[in-house]
């Protein structure tokens, strides 16, 4: 078919028919060519390669997709996304041609994913990443359509959310009492009293402690897999956290006792902290939690103290208080009952 001139944009475009992998006639349009020759060349190349591209295996397209992503997003994100796709999708369909990913096959994959032991949030994340990969195959490799688009979404997936385990202040005191090594002890204290993410803690340098104002400056994050110091999880994660004077005093004394101040300040891995937490929790006789649960413990402690949700949200680096409420709403339900009891006491004259 001939190329056409777009007089308004002063460019050329082609509109032509071709047959897809099912041998069905399809029409496509491509705009934005500077010359008629470029437009016609595109049509010739498309027709000669479209059928061959659909014969490519999923594994080969996945490799190209990862290379594409590496030039556009952070290395740590590429590693996380690539790992999710490979583990939960690519390994199951790697020997299939991209054209063989039918809605029926994808529905079976989707059902298996929903039945898995994964959390609801993880299921949705994996589903979204697979859908993005398939959309890439549609745009670049001529896949007829994203087969997931024909299926029902995952809005109504019924999965129990993972229970948040926390320590009360009393439990944390019992735990920290048996931690004898200086570096992990300091790390655990900062995590409990700041609500920092583990990666944020392990990226801190000496300069990130403002001792004159008793603040911790958060503007970095350490990726455990790559040991890379990167930007925080989100822009909202960049923040300053007001800290108790007592904790900041301990941090200053910790730094003063170091012969050489490393950068980052805490020369320890997340795995080491996790191992230490497990051993010391058992020794202290308190329930085992994850290192990340110290962040949840901090939020719970603040809720118990009556700190406003907006303050807690900013402290945790959440984009909005709604996110904080979604995570900790069950704690506010308990707080609501306590509030009703306090009101009853006022009515009965027990409190002024």
Question: HEC profile for the chain?
Answer: CCEEEECCCCEEEEEEEEECCCCCEEEEEEEEECCHHHHHHHHHHHHHHHHHHCCCEHHHHHHHHHHHHHCCCCHHHHHHHHHHHHHHHHHHHCCCEHHHCCHHHHHHHHHHHHHCCCCHHHHHHHHHHHHHHHHHHHHHHCCCCCHHHHCCCCCCCCCCCCCCCCCCHHHHHHHHHCCCCHHHHHHHHHHHHHCCCHHHHHCCCHHHEECCCCEEEECCEEECCCCEEECCCCHHHCEEEECCHHHHHHHHHHHHCCCCCCCCCCCCCHHHHHHHHHHHHHHHCCCCCCCCHHHHHHHHHHHHCCCCHHHHHHHHCCCCHHHHHHHHHHHHHHHHHHHHHHHHHHHCCCCC
Residues 8, 88: Cα–Cα separation, whole Å: 47
Q: What is the pLDDT of residue 51?
A: 56
Supply the pTM of this predicted model: 0.62
CB-based burial of residue 64 (10 Å sphere; 0-12 exposed, 13-18 middle, 19+ buried)?
A: middle
Q: What is the pLDDT of residue 112?
A: 92
Q: What is the pLDDT of residue 229?
A: 87
What are 183's two structure tokens?
């570096």
What are 67's two structure tokens?
């290379």
Q: What is the pLDDT of residue 224?
A: 76
Averaged pLDDT in 10-residue chunks for the chain of 352 residues: 85 80 71 89 72 76 91 84 93 90 93 86 90 91 86 68 80 96 97 96 96 96 81 86 96 96 94 96 95 94 88 92 81 64 72 50
Rg (alpha carbons) of the chain, rounded to whole number: 27
What are 15's two structure tokens?
């509109």
Residues 201, 213: Cα–Cα separation, whole Å: 19
- Nearest Cα neighbor of 315 from 296, 330, 335 is 296
- Nearest Cα neighbor of 200 from 247, 236, 232 is 232
Q: What is the pLDDT of residue 143?
A: 83
- Nearest Cα neighbor of 135 from 206, 79, 69, 226 is 69
What are 234's two structure tokens?
């989100």
Place of tokens 């990913």: 101
């Amino acid at each position: 078919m001939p190329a056409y001139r777009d007089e308004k944009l002063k460019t050329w475009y082609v509109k032509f028919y071709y047959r897809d992998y099912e041998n069905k006639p399809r029409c496509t349009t491509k705009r934005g060519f500077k010359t008629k020759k470029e437009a016609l060349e595109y049509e010739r190349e498309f027709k000669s390669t479209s059928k061959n591209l659909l014969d490519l295996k999923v594994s080969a397209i996945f490799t190209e997709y990862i290379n594409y992503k590496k030039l556009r997003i952070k290395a740590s994100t590429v590693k996380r996304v690539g790992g999710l796709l490979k583990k939960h999708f690519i390994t199951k369909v790697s020997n299939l041609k991209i054209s063989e990913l039918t809605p029926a096959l994808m529905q079976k994959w989707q059902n298996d994913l929903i039945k898995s032991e994964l959390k609801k949030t993880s299921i949705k994340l994996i589903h979204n990443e697979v859908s993005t990969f398939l959309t890439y195959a549609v745009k670049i490799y001529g896949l007829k359509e994203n087969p997931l688009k024909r299926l029902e979404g995952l809005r109504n997936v019924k999965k129990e959310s993972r229970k948040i385990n926390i320590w009360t202040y009393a439990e944390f005191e019992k735990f920290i009492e048996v931690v004898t090594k200086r570096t992990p002890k300091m790390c655990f204290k900062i995590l409990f009293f700041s609500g920092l993410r583990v990666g944020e803690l392990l990226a801190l340098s000496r300069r990130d402690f403002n001792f004159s104002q008793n603040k911790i400056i958060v503007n970095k994050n350490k990726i455990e897999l790559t040991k890379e110091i990167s930007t925080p999880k989100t822009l909202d994660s960049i923040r300053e956290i007001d800290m108790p004077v007592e904790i900041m005093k301990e941090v200053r004394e910790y730094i003063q006792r170091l012969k050489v101040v490393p950068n980052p300040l805490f020369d320890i891995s997340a795995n080491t902290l996790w191992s230490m937490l497990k051993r010391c929790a058992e020794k202290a006789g308190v329930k085992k939690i994850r290192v990340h649960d110290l962040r949840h413990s901090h939020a719970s402690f603040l809720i118990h103290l009556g700190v406003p949700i907006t303050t807690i949200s900013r402290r945790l680096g959440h984009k909005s208080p709604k996110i904080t409420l979604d995570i900790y709403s069950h704690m506010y339900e308990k707080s609501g009952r306590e509030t009703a009891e306090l009101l009853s006491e006022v009515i009965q004259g027990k409190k002024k």
